[in-house]
Structure 1
Amino acid sequence: MRAVLGVDIGTSSTKALLARLDGTVLAESSRQHDVDRPEQGLVEMDGDSWWAEFAELTRELLRSVPDADVAAVGVSGIGPCVLLTDADDRPLRPAVLYGVDTRTADMLDEVTAELGGLDPVRARCGSALTTQAAGVKLAWLARNEPDTWARAARFTMPSSRVVGLLTGEYVLDHHSASQTTPLYDVHEHRWIPEWCDALAPGLLMPRLVWSGERAGAVTAAAAAATGLPVGIPVTAGAIDAWAEGVSVGEAVPGRMFLQYGTTMFMIAPTTGAIAVPGMWTTVGTRPGQACVAGGTATSGAITEWLRRLFHGDWSTMLEEAEASGPGANGLLMLPYFAGERTPIADPHARGVVAGLTVRHTRGDLYRAALEATAYAVRHNLETLAAAGVEVRELVGAGGGLRGSLWPTIVSDVTGLPQTVPSVTVGACFGSAFLAAGLVADVDIATWNPADRVIHPDPEAHRGYEAGYRDFRDLYDATAAIVHRLARRTAPHR
């Protein structure tokens, strides 16, 4: 039976699946992994693990479905990340991860000034420089690790690293490139040579390909390592949030996609490249697409931290959080446990829990964490609205949708209906869909129809108004203190 392989390299796990060309999932598998946090603000990952887990999972899936005739491969991964490799394609150091790694915070103004100021950066890239910008991460490595940089020839992200090892092609999808700010022009869809030379001197920039396009074909060496057939096509790939957005058909202006994962990601498709202060302007996965994106630095990471802290299991803690009720019995949390990305762009923000008493339970804390992420989503929505980007509905995907509590809280806080699709396995499903597009005529509405729509409860929404105002005020009231605390634990560089 003809099938496609979709693989996603996430922050906490790599997930893979085989699907028929009609979207029926035949088999799934995953591998858990950890990130490294060598110092406060530094978040890295072993780049060799990406290929090792891809190959291992692929062989496992092929053994589990022996009659699968794999026709194409799609890969996605976390990003924007930076893995430096030498002329022989060997990693030179661990990969620097996306905006949760805040090592560039103190050089953003300096780099902006070097490029002529904020206006030209926004005009060409659509976004200001933040700790999310992979181009600044390259500059940090060039300036702080000159011995490593002297041996660097290329850079990859998780998806492009695996695509390169599968095909021998040095490529990067346009969407991922649009998050290498300030190296990519979101209007002309090309590298900006003079800024590449200034921030990443001597580094060869990859060939640009749209996410669903063919980047190359599986080589004999890759086939031997993975069990895949020689010569089958491989897509250019994408950053995981965009692949997950593809999996639920998010590319409609007026609808915002929410990725419920270790962090929470938001994608609002637009009719053109629109600059929204505090958020990121990117291109989409195919020509003609533009969007404004946002992301929290934590979300599921907080609930996982609480689960480990209390030695609980997911189902029990969700039940306890639901029993806690709206407002978490008077608890209010700021979810900035690793700084925050959009819209406040504050790498020195920290988590705060206000209102604690000895009567509070772990269910109250868990509920407060879920409500905090919902308030963060609303803050991003209000930032979009202020720039003229209208969002009328939400569509969700990701592991956080197990159970209905979290998305229900998000809809109640934002006041927006939210579609939950039939398949919520995430980015690997979107990657499989992109792969299927190389060999068949496919439609995501057929692959993944809606399962249900969560409508906001008007009474709950009114009740959350005061909580949201307090959420915004709490950050303003505590920012100076948490910034001082953050400086005391800053990395020594």
Structure 2
Amino acid sequence: MKYLLGIDVGTTGTKVVLVTEAGKVTASAFEDYPLSTPQVDWVEQDPEDWWKATMKGIAKVMGDASVKTREIAGIGLSGQYHGAVLLDKAHHVLRPCILWCDQRTTEQVEYISKRISKEELLRITGNPASYYFTVCKILWVKENEPQVYEKLSHFLLPKDYVRLKLTGNLVTDVTDASGTLLLDVPERRWSSQIVDKLDLDKDILPDCRESIEISGAITKKASELTGLNYGTPVVAGAGDQSAQAIGTGVIKEGVLACTMGTSGVVFAPTSLIRHDDRGRLDSFCFAIPDTWHTMGVMQSAGGSLRWFRDTLCDAEIKEAENKRQDVYQLIVEQAERVPAGSENLIFLPYLSGERHPHSDAKARGIFFGLDMRHHKAHMIRSILEGVVFGLRDSIEVMKELHIPISEIRATGGGARAKLWKQILADVTNSKVITVNSLEGAAYGAAILASVGSGLYNSVNEVCNRLIRVIEETYPIKDNVKRYEDYYLLYRSLYPLLKDKFAELSSL
């Protein structure tokens, strides 16, 4: 039997899964690592932590499954978008990686907007300039750390640093490259026009390939460090949201992926590139050749609930430890006692600013309508509802772009909560589906490896064979009507508060 290895380099840790060619997960490992926040709005990580976590994860799954390394047909990579890994000529890391959620690059966004018109950026990259794109981080280093920039020879995205350690090659894929703001997204290649206008050196760009292409093979050194067979192929892979979509069978128009992880994402594959002229969504290359996707991202989805847990749920944490239960299950159970609408309590989930559709790093979270009748359970439910309201904001923009939506597939940690899925169905008035794949982006990376290594002919073939629907959640009619009124009120709040957010940040 042949096996595939899927590796997802995430924000909080790296997941490694070992999957049979028939799609069964035989072993899974997760190795966490820290975030660094040296200043307000700065978020960084040490790329060596990703590599150490990858090595540990590989050792664990291989040990747990008792599989011989020669049985691994291919390796797929996935990872967090937008991070800037800067390397010198010897491929040594020059500084900690500036992550996707870092918000220090406001001035660089203004610089890009002066050098390149919004219309030209949309035409070439499918997106307007915003603080999270990789090029903004590179430009920040150029201006603020010139001694580092002088040594810059190459840059990579997070998963591609792990690829470098595995294969020795400087390669990325079209999905991750789309998140740099340096890719000609319609043509699926680097844009010399953008590179020149931003006065960057084209030689810092890694080779860019389609997600199913082989990007290299395990080197002798990597074989010694990981135990993997020398010469095992490594495919290009994909950014985490593209890989997550693949891993849940979201591969055609009409099917929407909704990820409720630390961040929240709505993701729609499209046969033609579709971008919003107002830049309220991202338009990237998809992991299937000649396919694109439109994506809306909110900064704090599950992150909002995690903040609430860490700040106000000491009792639940202790109870979960005593009962050996998931603390989030205990938290969400409280919200089940509260009616839809949380009795007029609305939560704005802007704890880390907001990305889509507002692109406002200064936005902040709010409980709107809090009064004496509200208890902890109301606050919990309002968080669940506020996150879904925020996701619906992006869905509404997709509808404006005439992107068809026939079903929503829920993924991420939030998809394990029945109440959260019911709220998603009610707020969007859509059928919400859960599939048999629970390993997310790492599983999607393994699927891409199965195609690149020749076990399957196409992503469509393997997804149709391996992905199955296991649960369907339908909207409750009375809740749909109630939530419509609350959503319209929610949607009106950000425009009223935008200037006040900016004023607050300047104090």
Bucket of the pairwise TM-score, normalised by the shorter protein: over 0.9
Query: How far, CA to CA, are the matches of 1:144 and 1:218 in structure 2?
Result: 37
- Corresponding residue for residue 296 of structure 2: 294
Counterpart Cα distance in 1 of 2:295 and 2:426: 22
- Matched residue SS, 2:493: helix
Letter in 1 for 2:2: R
How far the C-alpha of 1:194 sits from its partner, in A, is 3.7
1:80 aligns with 2:76: no
Question: Which residue of structure 1 aligns with residue 107 of structure 2?
Answer: 106
The answer (yes or no) to whether the contact 1:17–1:29 under 8 Å persists in 2 is yes
Residue 382 (structure 2) aligned to one of 343, 346, 368: 368
Contact 1:82–1:95 (CA under 8 A) maintained in structure 2 = yes
Q: Once the 2 structures are TM-superposed, how far is the Cα of residue 138 of structure 1 from its aligned partner? A: 1.5
Measured against aligned partners, the alpha-carbon deviations of 1:356-401 in whole angstroms (never above 9, x if no partner) come to 2344332222211111111011111111222222323211212221
Structure 2 CA distance for partners of 1:80 and 1:255, relative to 1, 3 Å: same
Partner of 2:455: 440
Q: CA deviation at 1:56?
A: 0.8
Give per-residue Cα distances to partners, 1:119-166, cap 9 Å, x unaligned.
111111111111232222222221221111111111111211111111
- Give per-residue Cα distances to partners, 1:71-114, cap 9 Å, x unaligned: 2111111012111111111111111111x222222332331221
- Residue 34 of structure 1 and its aligned partner are, at CA, apart by 3.0
Q: Is the 8 A contact 1:12 1:262 kept in 2?
A: no
Task: Indicate which of 394, 414, 428 corresponds to 2:428.
Answer: 414
TM-score w.r.t. the length of structure 2 is: 0.92
1:452-490 deviation digits (Å, cap 9, x = unpaired) = 1211112111110111111112222222222222223xx
AA of the residue aligned to 1:432:
A
Partner of residue 364 from structure 2, selected from 339, 344, 350: 350
Q: Is the 8 A contact 2:244 2:440 kept in 1?
A: yes
1:430 to 411, 435, 444: 444
Match of 2:503 among 450, 460, 484: 484
Of the candidates 458, 464, 481, which is equivalent to residue 477 of structure 2?
458
Contact 1:335–1:351, Cα closer than 8 Å, also in 2: yes
- Per the alignment, in what secondary structure is the counterpart of residue 194 of structure 2? helix
Unaligned runs of 5+ in 2: 317-326
1:72–1:439: 8 Å Cα contact kept in structure 2?
no
Matched, 1:272 2:276: no
Partner of 2:200: 201
Rounded to whole Å, the distance in 1 between the matches of 2:506 and 2:54 is: 39
Deviations 1:208-262 (A, max 9, x none): 1111211111011011111111111111121111111000111211221111210
Which range is displaced more, 431-440 or 20-29?
A: 431-440
**Counterpart-to-counterpart distance in 2, 1:51 and 1:16:** 12
Instruction: Tell me the amino acid that sits aligned with residue 401 of structure 1.
Output: A
Superposed, 1:90-101 pairs within 5 Å as 90-98=92-100, 100-101=101-102
Where does 1:307-386 land on structure 2 (aligned, <5 Å)?
A: 307-309=309-311, 310-311=313-314, 312=316, 313-386=327-400
For 2:119, the equivalent position in structure 1 comes to 119
Rounded to whole Å, the distance in 2 between the matches of 1:307 and 1:192 is 44
Distance 2:371 2:37 in 1: 32
* Identity rate, percent: 28
Aligned amino acid, residue 412 of structure 1: D
CA contact (8 A) 1:18 1:26 kept: yes
2:142 aligned residue = 142
Say which SS state the counterpart of residue 328 (structure 1) adopts.
coil
The separation in 2 between residues aligned to 1:255 and 1:200, in whole angstroms, is: 40
Which runs of 5 or more residues in structure 1 are unaligned? 489-493
Map of 2:491 onto structure 1: 472
Aligned-partner Cα distance in 1 for 2:131–2:429:
30
1:397–1:425 contact (8 Å) kept in structure 2: no
Deviation, 1:67, is 2.8
Tell me the distance in 2 between the aligned counterparts of 1:295 and 1:166.
30
* CA deviation map 1:51-73 (0-9, x unaligned): 11001110111111123422211
Aligned residues: 485
Give, as a single letter, the amino acid of the residue that structure 2 aligns with 1:485.
Answer: L
- Residue of structure 1 in register with 2:321 after alignment: none
Post-superposition offset of 1:198: 4.1
Secondary structure class of the residue paired with 2:58: helix
SS class of match (2:135): helix
Contact kept, 8 Å, 1:339 with 1:348, in 2: the verdict is yes
Inter-partner Cα distance in structure 2 for 1:81 and 1:485: 28
Question: Does structure 2 retain, via aligned residues, the 8 Å contact 1:138–1:199?
Answer: no
CA contact under 8 A between 2:5 and 2:18: conserved in structure 1?
A: yes
User: Which residue does the alignment assign to 2:10?
Assistant: 10
Helix, strand or coil for the counterpart of 1:460?
helix
Q: Give the match's secondary structure for 2:408.
A: strand
8 Å contact kept, 2:300–2:351: yes
Give the SS at the match of 1:324: coil
CA contact (8 A) 1:142 1:200 kept: no
Q: How far off its partner does 1:350 sit?
A: 0.7
Please point out which of 381, 386, 391 is paired with 2:405: 391
The one-letter code of the counterpart of 1:188 is E
* Matched-pair contact (CA < 8 Å) for 2:13–2:50: no
Is structure 2 residue 187 aligned with structure 1 residue 178?
A: no
Contact 2:124 2:185 in 1 (8 A): yes
Alpha-carbon distance, 1:275 to partner: 1.4
The aligned counterpart of 2:189 is 190
Counterpart in the other structure of 1:58:
58
Answer whether contact 2:266 2:395 (CA < 8 A) is retained. Answer: no
Instruction: Give the SS at the match of 1:81.
Output: coil
Give 1:469's aligned amino acid: L
Query: Is the Cα–Cα contact under 8 Å of residues 350 and 486 in structure 1 kept in the other structure?
Result: no
Q: TM-score, normalised by structure 1?
A: 0.95
Cα RMSD for the two superposed structures: 1.5
Residue type of the partner of 2:252? V
**Partner Cα distance (1:72, 1:393) in 2:** 32
Contact map agreement 1:58 1:226 (CA 8 A) in 2:
yes
SS state at 2:76 partner: strand
- Residues 106 and 390 (structure 1 numbering): CA distance in 2 closer, same or farther, change over 3 Å? farther
Instruction: Letter of the 1:171 partner, please give it.
Output: V
Give how far 1:32 is off.
2.4
AA at the equivalent of 1:54: T
Query: Does the aligned pair in 2 maintain the 1:399–1:425 contact within 8 Å?
Result: no
Letter in 2 for 1:482: F
Cα separation, 2, equivalents of 1:153 and 1:197: 16
Alignment of 1:216-255 (within 5 A): 216-255=216-255
1:389 is paired with a residue whose SS is: coil
Who is 2:319 aligned against? none
| Aligned mates of 2:220, 2:376 — CA distance in 1 | 53
Partner of residue 283, structure 1 = 285
In structure 2, C-alpha distance between the alignment counterparts of 1:319 and 1:473, rounded to whole Å: 29
CA shift, 1:49, in A, is 0.8
